[in-house]
Chains A and B, each alone.
Chain A
């Protein structure tokens, strides 16, 4: 077929099994509170829902140290 569009290279995202999902930026995230944008070269999306900076990861997924 003439003028067929080039197939787009798939965007690979990286899943940290115990942490965020890494997506190449810039990124827009639709959230219930509106669209959040990040221009960073890579963006870490929170998946544990503990982040205080949702939708971005703030490392709150890390296990808590046991109290000594």
Chain B
């Protein structure tokens, strides 16, 4: 397996299932913290050119809260949470009792609350994958950025542009609303080598 386009249907199904299990765990951790149900969609596996990445998330200038964590150990890559403003506001309000007035300038207390939620969600996601595959996966402390989604995503895009001309996302939407405009996203972005390791450990031929 050299190119992402070489992935077959079975392998894509496995990746979707990984997204399902990982984000299912992350969502239930979130739901416990917020003491309210958190809906989660069926995961999508997307293999995209860099140009297509932001379009798939609602347009490059959409203002979102981005949390980025690096994966190390047996699996390398990144996990990213993109939180819609309304959702981030609800989260901060529930956890700290504060109202968020200015998204462009988050205070230290609110931003550490968001970071901590990201930390717990990512750990739940990764632990589920680790115990499923028997692989050792570590996560870095989360890093936070509130800006245009295109600018936030330039960071993982650049990281993966070093390696290939396409990027693979295992994407889940949560807290999806009817108008489809205010959902938040979990993105698991594995490196090529790590994909192969995950597949092998799950007993799939490559």
Partners in one complex: no
User: Which residues of B are in contact with A by a Cβ distance under 8 Å?
Assistant: none
